[in-house]
Structure 1
Amino acid sequence: MKLEFDSQFLISVVFLGFVGLLCYLYTLLVEKPNRLRSKLMKQGINGPPPTLLLGNILELKKAQSATSKSFSETPSSHNCAALLLPLFDQWRDQYGQVFMFSLGPIQILCVNQPDIVREITVCTSLDLGKPAYQLKQLGPLVGKGILTSNGAKWVHQRKIVAPELYMEKVKGMMNIISESAVSVLNLWSNKIEAEGGVADIKIDECLRNFSGNVISRVCFGSNYAKNEEIFLKLNTLQELLSWKNMSRRIPGMSYLPTKTNREIWSLEKDVNEMIVQVVNERKKSAFEKDLLQMVIENVKDDNLSKEDIDSFIVDNCKNIYLAGYETTAVSATWCLMLLASNQDWQDRVRAEVLEICGGRIPDLSMLGKMKQLAMVINEVLRLYPPVTVVSREALKDMKFGNLDIPKGFNIWVMVVSFHTNPDIWGDDAYKFKPERFANGTIGSCKLPHVYMPFGVGPRVCLGQNLAILELKMIIALILSKFTFSLSPHYVHSPTLRLLIEPEHGVNILVKKL
């Protein structure tokens, strides 16, 4: 009798647990998203109808597959928004400047209204924070963050290094940037001589080596071999976590032991352990005045456990990698591609470089005088911005303009769409025209606040100044030594991973001046 009673009790507990789990999943995946959407629908905001559990993921995946197969654009037009994110333009035309869509249960408000974008980008409140879904999905690459005592905000939202101190560090290491650039010049010179005066060079790997060497020495000290191994693993992680792997956005998919997820977990573990090893070696060795030391100094007095301190340092090292390594390499690649296909601008910038430097390696003052080069770089970052989407999450109910955004909703600002909107930039918005920046970013278009290649406001990318200095140095030195044009092997095929990258790389024909 007792055994029968125990069995019935156990069955009841299991049944109630199962019912509770179903209720929880229904609330998380159905009731909460519907409740959030209804609050915006009452304000007249609509969007594509989501399917149960998947939201609009299948539509996005289908559109992405269609564009990757049909793309045949030439370098003369640079409408990356229509190419890489075609559905967003369609949804904007259909539902208005502000619309909503879903990535599974994740509700996203896409804002294309410039006055509201201005309010969002200058908001300093931590209640407009990094999206929780982004931290979960991209956590292996950017870090998952450390919760503060109230469990509501992420520690890594604060700046680990004051921008002015960061720049002082970078200015003091200009020799590292120039030495790394000169190594690229020497490599290209050897290839040109070996190939009889003209070399067909695939520049992507050379530029990654350049930026990797800089970020390794400026940020992480002299252990380049170890840092290079970390960079390679992070680069693989970036590919696995890119937009192309849309299936990971399906609820629960990132937790299943699929082949891709197992590889992601293994790489994340390896990278974290390697960074902690570098940090521990640093603590035992002589003091080095680099950014890693500044990160370590910044948290040593915080009331955090050793595990939290290690996690904080690892997260920020990953973010420095993204800002200073991959961003610089990809932007330099696009810059050389555009100069190779626009000979007049290549000649103009080269003449400026030769006049200012007179054959010398440029210093910080010389780089600051290169107005034509600055115009070109600004235009490159407009057409192929490192930040394609600025994303935030409302951690409490918030109001921007006439929009009441409920807690839990995510906000997207489509940078790549703003950067090439003909209503803002004119009929030549898809063309490479550096002269639009002749008066700086303020005079570049009707609404200059929508130009945000590194983000804007209080959360602007800390690594942007280092990236710009690297870009100016490598482009100036290449122009001073070589002339180049697009190789017949080049295929113009931008693709969206975490950054907009050339899917098949960039080949240019290079010869000495």
Structure 2
Amino acid sequence: MAAAMVLSLAVLLFFFIFLHLLESFLWKPERLRAKLRKQGIGGPSPSFLIGNVPEIKKIRALTSAAKSTEANSVTHGWASNLFPHLEQWRNRYGLNFAFSSGTIQTLCVTEMEMVKEISTSTSLSLGKPDHLRKDLGPLLGLGILSASGPTWVFQRKIIAPQLYHDKVKGMTSLMVECTNSMLRLWEAKVENDGGQSEINIDGYFRTMSSDIISKACFGSDYSKGKEIFQKIRALQVIMSKESVGIPGLRYFPTKKNREVRKLEKEIESSILKVVNERIESSSHEQDLLQKILEGSKSLNEDDKSLKITRDKFIVDNCKNIYFAGQETTAITASWCLMLLAAHPDWQARVRSEVLQCCRDRPIDANTIKNMKTLAMVIHETLRLFPPVLLVTRQTLEDIRFKNVMVPKGVNVQIPILILHQDARLWGPDAHLFNPNRFSNGILNACKNPYAYLPFGIGPHVCAGQHFAMVELKVIVSLVLSRFEFTLSPSYEHSPAFTLVMEPENGVVLNVRKL
């Protein structure tokens, strides 16, 4: 009798598990797709469990085989190479379409009125997608880049004010100091090489931006955070190759997963070491790290709406700041110098402005404020080579945008890379480098200002955008004031996606001191 009861319970348990799996992997995804189809949202037909991943890989492979390999061809229409499936499906199914990455159902939106509504939505029913916390959890955790709802609100109230314009203005001299330290290395290299040197600038910019973020936000120099930056970079490269949305893939003991877990533990340990040193020093610094530590004390772990513990709040937000603060600015600075090297007329124009604004004055917060041509060039760089290529949100409840009711559980994706180079929005020269389009400001640069969103837009705009813009102006203006440069014949133009969009083979310049 007892054995029969145990067997019955086991069968019943198996039955419920089977039903749960069917609901998660088959019925729910199909139900979400059906709700979108009824509203006229088309898209490619998915396969069971893996969705449209095989088709995405096939389209990418065909595009990669067909694309030109002409040496030194600096072209900017790279979107069709990195994400050819999005352009192909947009042309086939319309401005808004749906597709599946594993069991993740995504609504891709490029219709501008709907983009505007999504971008400006203040509803907490629109949050960060689950896969950021799951598939990219070791890198982002539950920090400000991946949190949603009350957890995101709590974190933003603590972090964002430390990166407002008035705070960043006080960090300008530090940015100048770190950039000058890097440029002294360039000067020594150029002198040793006889007046002109070939420099791969990526590594220099990563080290320098790491130094800036360390000193500005954590009160330490790059040498103390070097191990953290290197491990976060290694983790970023590994995780950019992971397949998002494939059920349970992150739990398999693959070589990649073992390396991810190892790096995650080492990064957490290194960050806690920095945090403990700060606590033990009883420092009175009012930098971002101090505000994070103070904010952790006000975190009510009994509040069930805040799905984060104190230690996780500290570690995950430090990881987010280390990653975003170093990677995006360094990459954009590299792309900016590449574009100026490829367009010597614009390099000369910006240099003339920099020298005129400074004259005998040092570069500071006031001088860079008057560099309008430089700002135009940076905005055009961010348009052609935005570090973040996709804005993705998840509907936490059913929510309506324009005439579409998006059901709970769908990822809503805005492809920045497509909007930034849409000829219908930017004109026939959308694929060309033309900073003049920003001569009358961002609002007048194209037919719809919501088509330009390198930092996002609306309430979810990047908290560090002011920091990034000031840092970029400092870096580029100081480089131009001391060097002239051209693209090296060895430069290979190869935009690549590694969670951010970077030059796969680096940016190699021939540099000469003025």
Letter in 2 for 1:497: T
Partner-residue secondary structure (3-state), 1:462: coil
Q: 2:334 maps to which residue?
A: 333
Letter in 2 for 1:443: N
Paired residues of 1:323 and 1:464 also in contact (CA < 8 A): no
Q: 1:288 maps to which residue?
A: 285
Partner-residue secondary structure (3-state), 1:404: strand
Return closer, same or farther for 1:172/1:425 CA change in 2, 3 Å cut-off.
same
TM-score (norm 1): 0.94
- Provide the C-alpha distance between the structure 2 equivalents of 1:291 and 1:50, rounded to a whole number of angstroms: 45
- Provide the C-alpha distance between the structure 2 equivalents of 1:36 and 1:249, rounded to a whole number of angstroms: 15
Of residues 231, 234, 251 in structure 2, which corresponds to 1:233? 231
Q: 2:218 maps to which residue?
A: 220
Letter in 2 for 1:317: C
- Provide the C-alpha distance between the structure 2 equivalents of 1:70 and 1:296, rounded to a whole number of angstroms: 52
The Cα shift of 1:6 comes to: 3.7
Of residues 178, 187, 190 in structure 2, which corresponds to 1:189? 187
- Provide the C-alpha distance between the structure 1 equivalents of 2:11 and 2:132, rounded to a whole number of angstroms: 34
Of residues 249, 271, 274 in structure 1, which corresponds to 2:270? 274
Q: 1:493 maps to which residue?
A: 494
Q: 1:413 maps to which residue?
A: 414
Is the aligned partner of 1:13 residue 2:14? no
Partner-residue secondary structure (3-state), 1:53: coil
- Provide the C-alpha distance between the structure 2 equivalents of 1:135 and 1:83, rounded to a whole number of angstroms: 28
- Provide the C-alpha distance between the structure 1 equivalents of 2:450 and 2:24, rounded to a whole number of angstroms: 37
Of residues 232, 254, 257 in structure 2, which corresponds to 1:258? 254
- Provide the C-alpha distance between the structure 2 equivalents of 1:508 and 1:191, rounded to a whole number of angstroms: 13
**Mind listing any 5+ residue stretches in structure 1 that lack a counterpart?**
none
Q: Provide, for residues 146-169 of structure 1, a one-character-per-residue CA deviation record: whole Å limited to 9, x for no partner.
A: 9xxxx9846135414364542333
- Provide the C-alpha distance between the structure 2 equivalents of 1:82 and 1:458, rounded to a whole number of angstroms: 30
Q: Provide, for residues 236-255 of structure 1, a one-character-per-residue CA deviation record: whole Å limited to 9, x for no partner.
A: 1111111x333x53211111
- Provide the C-alpha distance between the structure 1 equivalents of 2:171 and 2:488, rounded to a whole number of angstroms: 34
Letter in 1 for 2:342: S
The Cα shift of 1:142 comes to: 1.1
Paired residues of 1:55 and 1:105 also in contact (CA < 8 A): yes
The aligned length equals 503
Higher mean alpha-carbon deviation, 248-257 vs 211-220, is at: 248-257
Partner-residue secondary structure (3-state), 1:161: helix
Paired residues of 1:353 and 1:370 also in contact (CA < 8 A): yes
Paired residues of 1:101 and 1:109 also in contact (CA < 8 A): yes
The Cα shift of 1:17 comes to: 2.3
Q: 1:381 maps to which residue?
A: 382
- Provide the C-alpha distance between the structure 2 equivalents of 1:165 and 1:508, rounded to a whole number of angstroms: 35
Return closer, same or farther for 1:333/1:69 CA change in 2, 3 Å cut-off.
farther
Q: Provide, for residues 2-26 of structure 1, a one-character-per-residue CA deviation record: whole Å limited to 9, x for no partner.
A: xxx4443333333332222221111
- Provide the C-alpha distance between the structure 1 equivalents of 2:150 and 2:55, rounded to a whole number of angstroms: 32
- Provide the C-alpha distance between the structure 1 equivalents of 2:96 and 2:235, rounded to a whole number of angstroms: 33
Letter in 2 for 1:326: E
The Cα shift of 1:144 comes to: 3.0
Q: Map residues 36-435 of structure 1 onto 2, 5 A cutoff.
A: 36-71=32-67, 72=69, 75-144=73-142, 153=149, 155-158=151-154, 159-161=156-158, 163-167=160-164, 168-222=166-220, 224-242=222-240, 244-246=241-243, 248-285=244-281, 286-304=283-301, 308-435=309-436
Partner-residue secondary structure (3-state), 1:483: strand
The Cα shift of 1:85 comes to: 0.5
Partner-residue secondary structure (3-state), 2:463: coil
Paired residues of 1:180 and 1:214 also in contact (CA < 8 A): yes
Partner-residue secondary structure (3-state), 2:492: coil
TM-score (norm 2): 0.94
Return closer, same or farther for 1:132/1:194 CA change in 2, 3 Å cut-off.
same
The Cα shift of 1:372 comes to: 0.6
The Cα shift of 1:179 comes to: 0.8
Task: Report percent identity of matched pairs.
Answer: 47
Return closer, same or farther for 1:237/1:335 CA change in 2, 3 Å cut-off.
same
Letter in 1 for 2:118: I
Paired residues of 2:103 and 2:247 also in contact (CA < 8 A): yes
Partner-residue secondary structure (3-state), 1:390: strand
Paired residues of 1:160 and 1:298 also in contact (CA < 8 A): no
Paired residues of 2:484 and 2:513 also in contact (CA < 8 A): yes
Higher mean alpha-carbon deviation, 114-123 vs 80-89, is at: 80-89
Considering only aligned residues, what root-mean-square deviation do their CA atoms show, in Å? 1.9
Of residues 24, 31, 34 in structure 2, which corresponds to 1:28? 24
Higher mean alpha-carbon deviation, 73-82 vs 409-418, is at: 73-82
Paired residues of 1:415 and 1:453 also in contact (CA < 8 A): yes
Return closer, same or farther for 1:426/1:223 CA change in 2, 3 Å cut-off.
closer
Partner-residue secondary structure (3-state), 1:488: coil
The Cα shift of 1:69 comes to: 4.6
Q: Provide, for residues 161-213 of structure 1, a one-character-per-residue CA deviation record: whole Å limited to 9, x for no partner.
A: 36454233322222210111001110111111111111000000000011000
Letter in 1 for 2:97: F
Paired residues of 1:361 and 1:477 also in contact (CA < 8 A): no
Paired residues of 1:80 and 1:384 also in contact (CA < 8 A): no
Paired residues of 2:172 and 2:471 also in contact (CA < 8 A): no
